[in-house]
Amino acid sequence: MRHPILRLGDEGLRRPTRPVTVFDASLHALVDDMIETMHAAPGIGLAAPQIGLDLQLCVIDLSVGASHADLIVLANPHFVERRGMQLESEGCLSVPTFYATVARASEVVVRGQDRDGVWRTYDGSGLLARAFQHELDHLRGRIFVDRLQGLQRRLLLGRITRLRAKGRW
């Protein structure tokens, strides 16, 4: 089942998340729904707060559904290590059609539980490192726009404000 994706300005994106404690059939169904929602958008990552749930849960798939082997499910994730720096354009399903250059670590090590509760560690670089950081930000109530400064931030938020005033956001 596809879920509506919350947009920037919705308080659900800013709420604190709680740990996933039960890894049962209902969690598996939720994960499947999140994957379907992410692929339909289409996107490479989706966090539970983006569909209005206050859970520490996200899914990432750089292949956008082309390869099941690339799918990562993370519950209760945290960073073990972050190294380097990359500056790349970034977008978000909760801020559709808007992109901005965001500074992120170029390499990360993330630890989290899979859909069955098994702890796993992932090494990511480049786009995967960016996706991990982007989704874990969502679990902490942050959106990529929060990482912007100065003129870049003002311009993006100004365009969204104008769209909202016209009833198109």
Alpha carbon of 81 to those of 111, 113, 129, 141: distances in Å?
A: 10, 17, 11, 21
Strands 95-104 and 107-113: unpaired
For residues 8 and 143, the answer to whether their CB atoms sit within 8 Å is yes
User: What's residue 81's pLDDT?
Assistant: 98
Token pair belonging to 39: 């692929």
Domain ranges in the chain? 11-165
User: What's residue 69's pLDDT?
Assistant: 87
Token pair belonging to 86: 């990359």
The catalytic position among 81, 88, 107, 135 is 135
For residues 119 and 76, the answer to whether their CB atoms sit within 8 Å is no
For 129-166, write each residue's pLDDT tens digit: 999 999 999 999 999 999 999 999 999 999 999 999 99
Please say if the pLDDT value at position 68 is more than 90: no
> Is 11 tagged catalytic?
no
**∠ CA(34), CA(126), CA(134), 5° rounding?**
40
How many whole angstroms separate alpha carbon 130 and alpha carbon 80?
A: 15
Give the CATH number of domain 11-165; options: 3.90.45.10, 3.30.300.180, 3.40.50.300, 3.30.70.260: 3.90.45.10
Arithmetic mean of pLDDT, 9-26:
96
